[in-house]
Structure 1
Amino acid sequence: MHTRVYKNGTVEKSGFPVADVSDYVCDPGCVVWFDLCAPTEADLGVIGEELGLHELAVEDVLNDHQRPKLDIYESHLFLTVYSVHLDDEGMLDPVEINIFVTRNALVTVRENDRFDIYEVVKRWDAGKGMAGHGVSYLLHGLLDYVVDGHFALVQELDAQVEDLEDALFGQTGTNRDLQRRHFALRKNMVRFRKVILPMREVVNALLRRDLHVAEGEMTPYYQDVYDHVLRVAEWIDSLRELVGNLREAHLAEQGFRLNEIMKRLTGWAAIIAVPTAITGFYGQNVPYPGEGQLWGFWASTLVVALASVALYTVFKKKDWL
């Protein structure tokens, strides 16, 4: 658990118990932030009593896999966002972050410790001159860090698409490996798209004037976050289309290779058919020129060789072999 209280844009106290939050929240000149990681239902009950949070918002925190959203209640706002990164196996690993926003308090509830809240605190401390904007500044720093993580992830996915493209056209991997990489990439993109598209609605809603979040000097900062969200959303859509085109190109190339193999097999089958026909003819129980004589054997052998060489030459010239 992490707690802080700001006054006049500076950190006045940190590390105090959550039970003391109500003492600071009552002071209009104070801005309170505290963070919970994987809290219990009892912990959330204490928060709800201290800040007067709506029971539906508290219930949403307890229910995992919420859609990124912004809920507006009479006394506070409730946001659900996701920090995303790739795990050791290269699969998307989202971390749910729930945020309660009141007039002078910000509460962050992390699903687990894979989201580094210390990096957010560093970002807050780096802009001390803006801390006087209170909750609006703290919320912006948090969302900006989350969206920067989205931007870094889509860049990593872009690099993976380029590697897949090089492997496909450079023929540096087996079909099974290419299919596995393609499937993992598409799965990550689909899951990531479910995170980033609703995020546009969340940030856009925060720009509404009646919410009094992005006001005054903070408005351009929220607009910048919204611009980054749009860029990530457009980028991931273009990558999904590119991956689909790569799959179609891969299937087309496999079909082309199969046609080439069938063409060569057909050519060899035609070459083999000629000596088979000649030897089969000479193997019948009917008289034929040179039957029972040595020159007849060599004549049939010469016909087989000449016919085979002639067919091979013709097929090679036509690029059938």
Structure 2
Amino acid sequence: MTYCRTRLWVDGVLKAEDFPLQETSNHLAERNALVWVDMCNPDHDVLCELAQELGFDQHAIEDTVAHAERTKATRYATHTFLTVYATALAPPLANDLESRLLLARVSIFVLPAGIVTVRHELDPQKPVFDIDEVVRRWDENADLLKMGPPALLHGLLDVIVDGQFDTIQQLDDAIEALEDGLFDDRAVTRTIQRSTYRLRKELVELRRVVLPMREVINTIMRRRAEHADTVALDSWYSDLYDHVIRAAEWTESLRDMITTVFETNLSLQDARLNTIMKKLTGWAAIIAVPTAVTGWYGQNVPYPGFQSVVGLVSSAVIIVLVSGLLYVTFKRRGWL
């Protein structure tokens, strides 16, 4: 089922909303008009019909319907095509090795008088990408809409980048929680290992969609410079580019951090194993004392105290004294 939403602004003022898709080309031809068309999980026929009406490149349509398309920006003769991903983290899953990262692909066609967004959501009732937040930001900065499609595009990308920031922050918090548990003697090593593996998997998936965003914003800014677009939005796009750079750098630092957590966990396991081995060795030495003494006194030959209470007392005293001496020595050295 296709979920469609449309809007028309004229000179930055909202004039129409939820008009039929068939009227899109007519509104695009109006003077000072700005059009937005949004489709969620569109039927292929509906998408092809709109593409034919608006003159979208066939390669862009193929990228829109293809699976696992990478983040990119491509310039065509009549429009610019972008593929970006909104991100979110799902609640903890039953399988703690399964990635919680949720991705929603957003394909964007930037036209001279509007934009068309095509969203792919697993569950349209619980979308990963909050399109209502995009509309709210457009309404809050209605004066910018007089500058045309670049203003719409900025608001859309800004929400996507903010969502990526939220995801990165949640992963950062999860990694910090792992660090706190590393030095907790009550922590379950297996749980830490599984959580570390899951976080590494989620970071790898996140990097694939966050890092290429730099090139996407670069392409948009170069195109604006080449077409001598209004400089009023330059500061907005510069701020957006700065956020993208920070998100990329933050993701890289988290990858280094989770690698450090993984290596530290292995080192701590080795250290704990060494401690256990020292304790076992110390107790084995203590236990060897009564074994040696009773073995000596158990020989089948006469010895001092043979068949006498003195022999029992002397062997018991030797066991207690030597075992106690070893225990005190090992305890002071931290072996027990």
What's the TM-score once normalised by structure 1's chain length?
Answer: 0.95
Aligned to 1:101, which of 102, 110, 114? Answer: 110
Counterpart of 2:334 in structure 1 is 319
Which one is further off, 166-175 or 111-120?
Answer: 166-175
2:8, 2:27 within 8 Å by CA — same for their partners in 1?
A: yes
Answering whether residue 311 of structure 2 is matched by residue 296 of structure 1, we say yes
In the alignment, the residues of structure 1 paired with residue 290 and residue 46 of structure 2 have an alpha-carbon distance, to the nearest angstrom, of 88
Q: Is the alpha carbon distance of 1:277 and 1:172 closer, same or farther for their aligned partners in structure 2, counting shifts above 3 Å?
A: closer
Deviation at 1:171, TM superposition (A): 3.9
1:1-150 → structure 2 map (5 Å cutoff): 1-89=4-92, 91-112=100-121, 113=124, 114=127, 115-150=129-164
* Mapping 1:139-288, distance limit 5 Å: 139-171=153-185, 173-208=187-222, 209=224, 212=227, 215-288=230-303
Asked if structure 2 preserves the Cα contact closer than 8 Å seen for 1:207 and 1:214, the reply is no
Name the stretch that deviates more: 150-159 or 206-215: 206-215
Distance 2:185 2:276 in 1: 17
Distance 1:213 1:116, change over 3 A: farther
Percent identity at matched positions?
A: 44
Instruction: Supply the AA of the counterpart residue of 1:205.
Output: T
Q: Which amino acid aligns with 2:335?
A: W
Unaligned runs of 5+ in 2: 94-99
Tell me, what secondary structure is at the counterpart of 2:254? helix
**Contact 1:87 1:93 survives alignment (8 Å):** yes
- Deviation at residue 215 of structure 1 after TM alignment: 3.9
Cα separation, partners in 2 of 1:99 and 1:211, compared to 1, 3 Å: farther
User: Following the alignment from structure 1 to structure 2, what is the Cα–Cα distance between the partners of residues 42 and 283?
Assistant: 96
Shift of the alpha carbon at 1:195?
A: 0.9
Structure 1: where are the runs of 5+ without partners?
Answer: none
Alignment root-mean-square deviation, CA: 1.6
Q: 1:214, 1:191 → 2: CA distance?
A: 35
- Aligned equivalents of 2:117, 2:58: Cα separation in 1: 16
1:4-29, CA deviations, whole angstroms, 9 ceiling, x for partnerless residues? Answer: 11211111211111111111222342
Distance between the aligned counterparts of 2:119 and 2:269, measured in 1? 46
TM-score (norm 2): 0.91
Q: CA deviation digits over 1:125-163, x for unaligned, max 9?
A: 111111101111100110011111111222222222222
CA distance in 2 between counterparts of 1:202 and 1:261 reads: 54
Q: Which moved more, 1:63-72 or 1:19-28?
A: 19-28
Instruction: Report the secondary structure of 1:286's partner residue.
Output: coil
Aligned residues: 321
